[in-house]
């Protein structure tokens, strides 16, 4: 449910339990809970799911993605996703975020039907696998037929601002059959213009900032270990809210 009188919805991609708490503190309408945002996001741990569901009062949608890389999944990965959806149901999560393609770059309808059926009773968002399809117009019709409630998209571009024209086309195509959720590269400074250009009513951002590590000792030989981390910043979330509230 939107917290804005103008009906806009702010979804924050939270990459940890702490990020989820920060998103709520900053005024997010809901979160997409995930891990490994640097790799496009993967499914969070059960502990993260359980603690976040216990501490948050806003809706929690959970990313169901068993690994980084492409969106072509085998039978074993399908079983993992089905188990993760079952865990979301058990914990009382509000929605899941799914997506799968075949090798030809079209929606994997048999697999997606299975995932949507497993999520019955929860909201279903189709994630940015949509941006990797061969024919977005056809793919959007397939996603609508699956019964998904929304599609997260950057307009098949590196960021939603560059994909604004395509996103506007998806909004017109979808009409009132599902919601187009615009995301990737959004900031408090560009989100209002993106809404104006596309007509979307839901936006998605990570609102993250660098969190320096408190470690006093750092082993310089561990060149692959990044001590600092990216975490949702409640001040950036609040800035998004301010930008949306003044539209």
Please report where in the chains the tokens 């793919």 appear, as a residue: 139
The DSSP element (H or E) to which 126 belongs, if any, is: strand 123-126
Residues pairing with 126 in the sheet: 98, 151
In this prediction, residue 169 carries a pLDDT of 98
Domains of the chain: 9-206+225-245 (3.20.20.380)
Decide if 195 contacts 247 (C-beta within 8 A): yes
Distances (CA, A) of 170 to 166, 182, 183, 195: 6, 10, 13, 13
pLDDT of 38: 86
Q: Phi and psi (nearest 5°) for 223?
A: -65, -20
Contact 44, 213 (CB under 8 A): no
pLDDT tens digits, residue range 174-186? Answer: 999 999 999 999 9
CB 124 within 8 A of CB 147: yes
Do 152 and 128 meet the contact criterion of CB atoms below 8 Å apart? yes
Rounded to whole angstroms, how far apart are CA atoms 147 and 138? Answer: 15
How many Cβ atoms from other residues are within 10 Å of residue 121's Cβ?
Answer: 6
Helix (H, G, I), strand (E, B) or coil at 216: coil
User: Could you report the average pLDDT of every consecutive run of 10 residues in the chain (247 residues)?
Assistant: 78 97 97 93 97 97 97 98 98 98 97 98 97 97 98 97 98 96 97 97 96 92 88 97 90
User: pLDDT of 85-122, one tens digit each?
Assistant: 999 999 999 999 999 999 999 999 999 999 999 999 99
Residue whose entry in the numeric block shows the structure tokens 């615009």: 182
Please name every residue paired with 125 in a beta bridge, in sequence order, or none if there are none.
97, 150
pLDDT of residue 1: 54
| Other Cβ atoms closer than 10 A to 227 | 11
């Amino acid at each position: 449910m939107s917290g804005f009188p103008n009906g806009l919805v702010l979804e924050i991609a939270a990459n940890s339990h702490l990020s989820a708490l920060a998103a709520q503190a900053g005024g997010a309408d809901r979160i997409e809970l995930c891990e490994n945002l640097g790799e496009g996001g993967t499914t969070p741990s059960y502990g993260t799911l359980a603690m976040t569901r216990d501490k948050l009062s806003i809706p929690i949608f959970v990313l169901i993605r068993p690994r980084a890389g492409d969106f072509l999944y085998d039978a074993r990965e399908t079983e993992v996703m089905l188990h993760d959806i079952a865990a979301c149901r058990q914990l009382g999560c509000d929605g899941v975020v799914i997506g799968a393609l075949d090798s030809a770059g079209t929606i994997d309808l048999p697999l997606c039907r299975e995932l949507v059926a497993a999520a019955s009773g929860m909201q279903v968002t189709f994630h940015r696998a949509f941006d990797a399809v061969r024919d977005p117009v056809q793919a959007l019709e397939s996603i609508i037929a699956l019964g998904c409630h929304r599609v997260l998209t950057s307009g098949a571009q590196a960021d939603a601002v560059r994909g604004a024209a395509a996103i506007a086309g998806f909004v017109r195509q979808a009409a009132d059959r599902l919601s187009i959720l615009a995301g990737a590269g959004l900031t408090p400074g560009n989100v209002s213009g993106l809404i104006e250009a596309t007509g979307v009513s839901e936006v998605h951002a990570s609102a993250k900032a660098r969190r320096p590590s408190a470690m006093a000792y750092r082993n310089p030989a561990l060149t692959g270990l990044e001590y600092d981390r990216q975490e949702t910043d409640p001040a950036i979330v609040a800035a998004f809210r301010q930008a949306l509230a003044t539209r």
